[in-house]
Structure 1
Amino acid sequence: MSGLFGATSSSTASNTVGDLKQDVALTSPPEDTITGLSFSPATNQANDFLAVSSWDKKVRIYEVTSNGQSEGRHAYGHDAPVFMCDFSKDGTKVVSAGADKAIKVCDLGTQQDAKIGEHDQPVRTVRFFEAGGNPMVVSGSWDKTVKYWDMRSPTAVATVQCQERVYTMDVKNDLLVIGTADRYINIINLKNPTTFYKTLQSPLKWQTRVVSCFADASGFAIGSIEGRCAIQYVEDKDSSLNFSFKCHRDPPSGNVTSVYAVNDISFHPVHGTFSTAGSDGSFHFWDKDAKHRLKGYPQVGCSITATKFNKTGSIFAYAVGYDWSKGFQSNSQQLPIKVMLHPVQQDECKPRSTIKKR
């Protein structure tokens, strides 16, 4: 069987080291570190559309064909670095936000973008969600608030006060998960959007970098700066299934273990397995139910700053660039800035039916 970007590799399912040889670079990538990736979830589009936000103050939308070819279709700007972008459910709009404190929506049909709201401080994260069949926007800011927006109104529909600055946020169905400074995790049922359904402190000891909802919205994963990931279920009845594990760490050398931030976590839309990617420049695919790593991939030469699966799970996009984890002095013009498209082979993200114990 031929793979998405060419012939399927002959590696067997027992091989846990993945292959990057068929990965294809996105055409005309951003000019500075990439902060967010979002594929259109619309099922009526023959090709994939990928939105990319960047420190270069732009959001770019690309069309990606099944053979991995890509072409830039549109770009629009903010007045400062853009920290996040997200596609609407029908694939017709992209929302973005960033250091200019503004939330913008771009209509891809007319290629017009408009500011729909703003916060008092930079906006770290933004997502579309559906309310009564209508598309709405939720944004999270360093001003310690989460705001809800109806695109037809210039003022927020509602504001939720958080304990600390919002660092990360994700939405799946009616589940909204918010990660803030001081390791607070707030869970909201979007049917009751102004009340915290539950608040907890991250089971991880260090700063939260990313939260990502399960494909079935029954829980979420947390990634932190200390090279650990936690799996958390929403309901108390499932709490026995919660666990955390180490990832993105070098093997110990003497008494020293180098640990790296987990920069992004993405769930496969079909299989419910997930990826982690980090400052060490590698990504891995995991099966949370079997508590098993499916595949690990060679380091790509620079940090991986953002990841996303397309709507069918046949493409895994990952952004390569400097993530400032080693400070200003480690940045360099020589470091790559690119988005790579990885064709997901049959065995890479499928849960394992049986796990042989060693």
Structure 2
Amino acid sequence: MPALHYTHPKSLEGTAKNDIVAPTPDLSDTIQALRWSPVSNHLAVAAWDGRTRIYEVSMTDGQTRGVTVINAEGPLLSCDWSKDGSLVATAGADGKIYVLQASSGQAVSFTAHNSPIRDVRFVDDVPGCSAPIIALGSQPKPITWQCHRNPRSTTSNPVITDIYSVNAVAVHPTVKGCVATAGSDGSYRFWNAELSTHNRSYSDVGSPITACAFDCTGLWFAYAVGYDWAKGCYHNEASIPTRLVLHRVSKDDAK
């Protein structure tokens, strides 16, 4: 696949001012993961406050209604829906997997790891198995890394560059090649990976974006705003908002 050539003409710059902030009065910490139901207008939101919230989202105006909550014993780092939308799985720092039955609202949990679970996904179409299968990933050992941009030697005129992480990537469900990226610089952008083009940018969110996802129709794009710890504990200021936001996807975004 050819590289995405990023250009930033003003004509491709949109505004997030019209995006819809969902009411989340009990959300007390950063959202880590967002997953839409593959068959309905329900959104699962996993957060560091130890709760995964399920919202029903109006496809007309983006208004949200809380449906139920999964409570854990530690921060929740991931969530996912089964292919038929009947189950929600979530997992995180306590090493347990929590599974919610969407129709009844009943949840069960079981210990799966002695260390935090970083990601959880339903696996579809496993030969010889008719029941849902959950795959999980963890990071039991620490890793170290060094940025390749770090110069080995100093110069009299060093080049100072602000580098921000891409925290989330989402694939549009109906427009071939369309993807969205969001990151620590407080922006989200729409691209077409097949055409190697940049569709549109929204750079006025103002705070880091930690997660994003398209709904199953591709009409709504959800993203989470909150501190992502990219600058360490000293920059975790109370003024940084923690919120769930919905963006109506336009034809200029997804093409």
Mark yes or no: TM-score above 0.5: yes
Q: 2:35 aligns with which of 34, 38, 56?
A: 38
Q: Which runs of 4+ in 1 moved over 4 A?
A: none
Taking structure 1 as the reference length, what is the TM-score of the superposition?
A: 0.61
Cα distance in structure 2, aligned partners of 1:112 and 1:348: 38
| Aligned residue type for 1:94 | V
Preserved contact between residue 16 and residue 204 of structure 2 (Cα < 8 Å): no
* Offset at residue 55 of structure 1 (A): 0.5
| Residues 220-274 of structure 1: per-residue CA shift (max 9 Å, x gap) | xxxxxx8xxxxxxxxxxxxxxxxxxxxxxxxxx9721100011011111111310
Asked if 1:314 corresponds to 2:216, the answer is no
The aligned residue for residue 290 of structure 1 is 195
Q: Equivalent residue of 2:133, what SS?
A: strand
Return the alpha-carbon distance in structure 2 between the equivalents of residues 182 and 112 of structure 1: 40
Distance 2:55 2:252 in 1: 27
Matched, 1:21 2:21: no
Separation in 1 of the partners of 2:123 and 2:85?
12
Q: Could you say what secondary structure the match of 1:91 adopts?
A: coil
Q: Hey, what's the Cα distance between the residues in 2 that align with 1:323 and 1:15?
A: 29
1:53 aligns with 2:50: no
Distance between the aligned counterparts of 2:199 and 2:107, measured in 1? 41
In the alignment, the residues of structure 2 paired with residue 341 and residue 206 of structure 1 have an alpha-carbon distance, to the nearest angstrom, of 33
Give me the identity figure in percent: 39
Shift of 1:15: 2.6
Q: How do 1:311-350 and structure 2 match up within 5 A?
A: 311-350=216-255
Task: Measure, in 2, the Cα distance between the counterparts of 1:314 and 1:109.
Answer: 25
Change in Cα spacing, 1:206 to 1:63, as seen in structure 2 (3 Å) is farther
Greater share of strand:
1
Q: Which runs of 5+ in 1 are unaligned?
A: 1-13, 144-163, 166-180, 184-204, 208-225, 227-252, 351-358
Coordinate RMSD, CA, aligned: 2.2
- Report deviation, 1:182: 7.0
Normalization by structure 2: what TM-score?
0.85
Bigger relative CO (Cα 8 Å, ≥ 6 apart): 2
CA distance in 1, matches of 2:171, 2:163: 23
Q: 1:206 deviation in Å?
A: 5.1
Q: Match for residue 71 of structure 2?
A: 77
CA–CA separation in structure 2 for the residues paired with 1:349 and 1:288: 11
The range that moved more, 280-289 or 18-27, is 18-27
Structure 1 counterpart of 2:132, which letter? Answer: P
How many correspondences in the alignment? 233
Please list every run of 5 or more consecutive structure 2 residues that lacks an aligned counterpart in the other structure.
1-9, 150-156
Task: Give the Cα–Cα distance (whole angstroms) in 2 for the partners of residues 293 and 53 of structure 1.
Answer: 29
2:132 partner SS:
strand
